[in-house]
Chains A and B, each alone.
Chain A
Amino acid sequence: MRVAGKGLYQGAPPVSFRFDGVAWHGVEGDTLASALLGEGVRLMGRSFKYHRPRGVLSAGSEEPNALVCVDGVPNTRATMQEIWEGMEATSQNARPSLRFDVLAVNDWLAPFIGAGFYYKTFMWPRSFWERVYEPLIRRAAGLGRLDPSAGPLLCEKAWAFCDVLVIGAGPAGLSAALAAGRAGARVILADEGARMGGRLLAETDPLDGQPPHLWVERVLAELVQMPNVRLMPRTTVTGVHDGGTFAALERVSLHRAPRADLPRECFWRIVARRAVLCAGAIERPLPFPDNDRPGVMLAGAVRAYLNHWGVAAGRRVVVFGNNDDAHRTARDCHAAGLTVAALVDSRPEAAMPGAPFPVLPGARIAGTRGRLGLSRVTVEGPQGRQEIEADVLAVSGGWSPSVHLACHLGARPVWDDRLQAFLPPPGGVPWMTVAGAAAGEFTTAGCLRDGWRAASAALADLGLRAPDPDLPEAEGQAPAQGPFIVVEGRRQFVDFQNDVTVKDIRLAVQEGFCSVEHMKRYTTLGMATDQGKTGNVPAIAILSEALGSPVAATGTTTFRPPYTPVSIGAMGAGGQGMGFAPRRLTTSHAACLDRGAPMIEAGLWYRPGYFPRPGETTWRQSCDREVTMVRQAVGVADVSTLGKIDIQGPDAAALLDFVYCNTFSTLPVGRVRYGLMLREDGHVMDDGTTARLGGNRYIMTTTTAAAGQVMRHLDFVTQVLRPDLDVHCVSVTEQWAQFSVAGPRSRDLVQAVVDADLSDAAFPYMACAEAPVMGVPGRVFRISFSGERAYELAVPARYGASLYRLLVAYAESLGGGPYGMEALNVLRIEKGYITHAEIHGRTTAFDIGMERMVSKTKDCIGWAASRRPGLLEADREQLVGLRPVAQDGVITAGAHLYRREDPATRLNGQGYVTSACWSPTLGRALGLGFLRRGRERHGEVVRLVDAMRGVETLCEVTDPVFLDPKGERLRG
């Protein structure tokens, strides 16, 4: 219910929303939890395993119970979800309704389904496992449901940089940000809440004699004016990573109705030179029988709902705790006009002189009643046993500093017996200090001072001067803390979300799972979406007691990012569809699209597959036509994607001799040579051609895929292996648009556009020259990848689009036209030319029949290793051609080769097929592959088997060059 005159949202605009189909009302600033409590709704969920009715436990991101589905997003914490007009929220894990859940029967079966029961059941009969048990368990398990019809969450990613990152905007964080901001440092202040202020918004103790939220507003007003300070509310810093990088998740628009122009979340990577962790502390509940009913809440949360949101969780409050901090809840509730039925304190010495409500020291809650909502509690103490009517039970077992981020790099927190808390390990994150409650400082004055101190230390590290402290007067009374207690009985829950009880922890010890990591996995305690924020420390205390060892010896489990769940959509933002990778388009791209060519991916590049003509309905028709067109007339293809590297310098030839296995220093000016590049282990890395354009000027080409790798390799050679060479290598792949013009009529075409003598006498096969192309400075190379007479023309990329259209128009007037990657591949297979399908990383020059290219006299990359006997064995798989014996025989790449008479088993494998195509020129399928001793076996018939596609073909082994073996068509 709402309490008049309380809270920070009095007079705020009203908001209507629906929960499980029922309409409710709240105000702007309400979370779903505060709005529902304000309307008197306490039942918000059903627990994971036992389907027990649950209400909200906390007021923050540590919430284990009130998980709802909002706008299609499951497991949303009602405590973090602000309400917006028209919002639809639904409960989870209950059918048909929250009030009446069929699976509540699990609660009756509790004795049989305690921790680890599934390790001892579901074993018989074996046949049931896949058909019965697994489907049933899958349907029963899990919390929340993903809506498969929902579109992807619209998210984005961003980077930020700052000098000082302050994590948490409570008293310590605001103080730190103020100090750093005034010192002129670049500051980012991030807080997971919608409104900055932390516990200052939830408490009533004055700052400078005023309500604490007023100081918060003053500080924020100053910070927002500083150009060097960036405020990031609704931003949870989720992880600490190497090198000062922090991950953070910003809820950009999850607190409003979805809009098409705003992402829901933004995943940040923040690089900070220093950081101050002011994450505060999380209150822990106490284990007592039936401690999980709707209405049982953390004492600090009851204060937060009352003082921040002006909402009373109920009318009759009982407070139960082992520390002085819980007393503030009783005091605040009473001051707000609520009935405090009793303050129950487990410590016999506890006292509150002059308290206007009953105080019961040395007592404990022995039980509760009210299945769908708390109605009564049972108190046991020195005065005996009594039943007290209450609809809210505010519980406090003490506060656990939020040390998580300080432990993300692997350090473990340190147990402090006096504070009854795990404290952050010193130096756990070298560039981050911890301040405030997160460091075990539990007074407001102490937090304010600590934040300023930590920021000052960070500023000093950065060489900046810290300003003089400017802090308000605040309470400085550290609350006394009693020992942790367990009230014996049944159904004392420790991990609310995974339904793990005290009994389960003790069972783990009984079964031998004594280490805290084993107890965690055996019981699943701390493994739910809340990652044990409220339950881990109590569990460690219970485990320690069961083991008879001190808490310090038990320790904690490993802390890992993220602190709170991060949607995969946020981490992968921008990486869907076209956003997955940058697209590299050639200058002929638009022209290809104009002709309806389907574009295929070649790494990051897009290249045309084929150019369908009217009447052609399959890719094969177009491909066959294009192959024939190139062999009979002329074809034009864009080959700009191949890597091009400019190599200049007195030692250019020496460099080429070192990186290629064959010799380039003998290459005359105006000539091109094919080169094979080896890896240092003697296998082929890449192939290409290098042209000598001038005295010390060469232009190297690489395959499309290896361009970047070869450039890095050349840089490695020139910088590290051969710094003696005076040579420079510069990538010019994007500088030049390059087109292949291939076919018997290719010279007619190129002579029309190139201003140079291209007669065979002046420009034989493998010649090159710099010459004007249509009036712009260009280059011509007489090289061929099709086996036909061919030329490659290069112009500066700005003219590429224009030249391509012109070349294609000319080609068409000569009976030819454009050809795509499919035809390019068929043409080269017909000629036995290799690609990375053949030089796939495990083949050598010897394997592909080019061992004579490896110079015997000079050192080169890969020379020594290539001479290893194993790489020169006659038995190795060697490149061969394959022709089906039957005219309609099918060849598939990836098929394996066997002797004709051998069964197709792995041991009988003789080789494999690397490339295959239908050859319109030869009227049958063709393949290239590798076969043991292949060069000796030309003429033999082998069996090709592709078990995956169900293909089996008898093939004749041939020379890989199927067409024009003497190369007469090439040379004209």
Chain B
Amino acid sequence: MRVTCPWCGERDRREFTVQGDETALRRPHRDAPPEDWHAYIHLRDNPAGRLREMWYHDPCGTWIVVERDTVTHAVHGTTPAREAAR
């Protein structure tokens, strides 16, 4: 599987560590209700199709959001997590 790091170019997936869904980007406020924190920590969709995930490119130490398809395994795009978080 090949994934494109926005800075380093197309690399083998072995250069990456996968974290999980991009929900991690949207951290609730400290005093948000428990349901918000529960959703943030525990609840995830599991689509047969496109999803967006947090990946870490180990050589350059940057987090990116990878959009890929769980059915076709196609990788549709990568965005620096910094930008996706905005």
Chain A interface (Cβ < 8 Å from any Cβ of B): 241-245, 271, 409, 680-681, 711-712, 715-716, 719-721, 723, 859, 863-865, 868
CB of B81 within 8 A of CB of A719, answer: yes
CB of B41 within 8 A of CB of A245, answer: no
Compute how far the CA of A865 lies from the CA of B40 in the bound complex, rounded to whole angstroms: 10
Closest Cβ of chain B: how far from A445's Cβ, in Å? 36
CB of B17 within 8 A of CB of A720, answer: no
Residues on B with beta carbons closer than 8 Å to the beta carbon of A715: 56, 61-63
Across the A-B interface, give the 10 residue pairs with the lowest CB-CB distance, nearest first.
A859-B30, A243-B2, A242-B73, A243-B1, A242-B1, A720-B81, A864-B37, A720-B85, A681-B41, A719-B63
**Chain B residue, CB-CB nearest to A679:** B41
Indicate whether B77 reaches chain A with its CB closer than 8 angstroms.
no
Indicate whether B28 reaches chain A with its CB closer than 8 angstroms.
yes
CB of B61 within 8 A of CB of A720, answer: no
Compute how far the CA of A244 lies from the CA of B41 in the bound complex, rounded to whole angstroms: 35
Closest Cβ of chain B: how far from A581's Cβ, in Å? 14
CB of A864 within 8 A of CB of B81, answer: no
- Which of B24, B32, B54 sits near A864, CB closer than 8 Å? B32
- Which of A271, A864, A868 sits near B28, CB closer than 8 Å? A864
Main secondary structure of the interface of B (DSSP, over half): mixed
B: number of interface residues (CB 8 Å): 31
Residues on B with beta carbons closer than 8 Å to the beta carbon of A711: 61
CB of B61 within 8 A of CB of A864, answer: no
Q: Mark B1-45, 1 if CB is under 8 A from A, else 0.
A: 110000000001100010100001101101110100100111000
CB of A244 within 8 A of CB of B17, answer: no
Indicate whether B76 reaches chain A with its CB closer than 8 angstroms.
no
A-B contact pairs, 30 of them (CB 8 A): A242-B1, A243-B2, A243-B13, A243-B75, A271-B2, A409-B73, A712-B56, A715-B56, A715-B61, A715-B63, A716-B19, A716-B24, A716-B54, A716-B56, A716-B81, A719-B81, A719-B85, A720-B54, A720-B63, A720-B85, A721-B27, A721-B85, A723-B85, A863-B30, A864-B30, A864-B32, A864-B34, A864-B37, A865-B41, A868-B34
Residues on A with beta carbons closer than 8 Å to the beta carbon of B61: 711, 715
Residues on B with beta carbons closer than 8 Å to the beta carbon of A721: 27, 85
Compute how far the CA of A770 lies from the CA of B85 in the bound complex, rounded to whole angstroms: 38
CB of A680 within 8 A of CB of B40, answer: yes
Closest Cβ of chain B: how far from A859's Cβ, in Å? 4
Residues on A with beta carbons closer than 8 Å to the beta carbon of B30: 859, 863-864
For chain B, residues 51 to 65, give those with C-beta under 8 angstroms from any C-beta of chain A. 54, 56, 61-63
Closest Cβ of chain A: how far from B36's Cβ, in Å? 9
Residues on A with beta carbons closer than 8 Å to the beta carbon of B2: 243-245, 271
Compute how far the CA of A864 lies from the CA of B32 in the bound complex, rounded to whole angstroms: 8
Known contacts A245-B1, A864-B28; is A712 also within 8 Å of B40 by CB?
no
Compute how far the CA of A882 lies from the CA of B66 in the bound complex, rounded to whole angstroms: 49
Closest Cβ of chain B: how far from A695's Cβ, in Å? 25
Residues on B with beta carbons closer than 8 Å to the beta carbon of A680: 27, 40-41
Closest Cβ of chain B: how far from A406's Cβ, in Å? 15
Beyond A244-B2, A719-B62: 17 further Cβ-contacts under 8 Å?
Answer: A242-B1, A243-B2, A243-B75, A271-B12, A681-B42, A711-B61, A712-B17, A715-B62, A716-B19, A716-B56, A719-B63, A720-B24, A720-B85, A723-B85, A864-B28, A864-B34, A868-B34
Residues on B with beta carbons closer than 8 Å to the beta carbon of A723: 82, 85
**Chain A residue, CB-CB nearest to B36:** A864
**Chain A residue, CB-CB nearest to B17:** A712
Closest Cβ of chain B: how far from A584's Cβ, in Å? 15
Compute how far the CA of A409 lies from the CA of B82 in the bound complex, rounded to whole angstroms: 34
CB of A716 within 8 A of CB of B63, answer: yes
CB of B62 within 8 A of CB of A720, answer: no
Compute how far the CA of A850 lies from the CA of B19 in the bound complex, rounded to whole angstroms: 28
**Chain B residue, CB-CB nearest to A712:** B56
Residues on A with beta carbons closer than 8 Å to the beta carbon of B28: 864
CB of A719 within 8 A of CB of B40, answer: no
Compute how far the CA of A868 lies from the CA of B35 in the bound complex, rounded to whole angstroms: 11
Compute how far the CA of A720 lies from the CA of B82 in the bound complex, rounded to whole angstroms: 5
**Chain A residue, CB-CB nearest to B3:** A243
Residues on A with beta carbons closer than 8 Å to the beta carbon of B75: 243
Compute how far the CA of A715 lies from the CA of B55 in the bound complex, rounded to whole angstroms: 12
**Chain A residue, CB-CB nearest to B86:** A723
Closest Cβ of chain B: how far from A333's Cβ, in Å? 49
Compute how far the CA of A680 lies from the CA of B36 in the bound complex, rounded to whole angstroms: 13
Closest Cβ of chain B: how far from A65's Cβ, in Å? 37
Closest Cβ of chain B: how far from A410's Cβ, in Å? 9
CB of B37 within 8 A of CB of A865, answer: yes
Closest Cβ of chain B: how far from A899's Cβ, in Å? 34
Known contacts A271-B2, A864-B28; is A719 also within 8 Å of B82 by CB?
yes
Compute how far the CA of A47 lies from the CA of B41 in the bound complex, rounded to whole angstroms: 58
Compute how far the CA of A681 lies from the CA of B61 in the bound complex, rounded to whole angstroms: 24
Closest Cβ of chain B: how far from A272's Cβ, in Å? 11
Closest Cβ of chain B: how far from A898's Cβ, in Å? 32
Compute how far the CA of A716 lies from the CA of B54 in the bound complex, rounded to whole angstroms: 10
Among B61, B75, B81, find the residue whose CB has the most chain A CB atoms closer than 10 A: B61
**Chain A residue, CB-CB nearest to B40:** A680
Closest Cβ of chain A: how far from B34's Cβ, in Å? 7
Compute how far the CA of A715 lies from the CA of B60 in the bound complex, rounded to whole angstroms: 11
Closest Cβ of chain B: how far from A64's Cβ, in Å? 33
Closest Cβ of chain A: how far from B74's Cβ, in Å? 8
CB of A720 within 8 A of CB of B25, answer: yes
Closest Cβ of chain B: how far from A161's Cβ, in Å? 10
**Chain B residue, CB-CB nearest to A868:** B34
**Chain A residue, CB-CB nearest to B2:** A243
Residues on A with beta carbons closer than 8 Å to the beta carbon of B41: 680-681, 865
Compute how far the CA of A953 lies from the CA of B72 in the bound complex, rounded to whole angstroms: 57
Residues on A with beta carbons closer than 8 Å to the beta carbon of B34: 864, 868
Residues on A with beta carbons closer than 8 Å to the beta carbon of B73: 242-243, 409
Compute how far the CA of A184 lies from the CA of B2 in the bound complex, rounded to whole angstroms: 24
**Chain A residue, CB-CB nearest to B32:** A864
Compute how far the CA of A712 lies from the CA of B24 in the bound complex, rounded to whole angstroms: 14
Among B19, B34, B37, B85, find the residue whose CB has the most chain A CB atoms closer than 10 A: B37
Closest Cβ of chain A: how far from B65's Cβ, in Å? 9
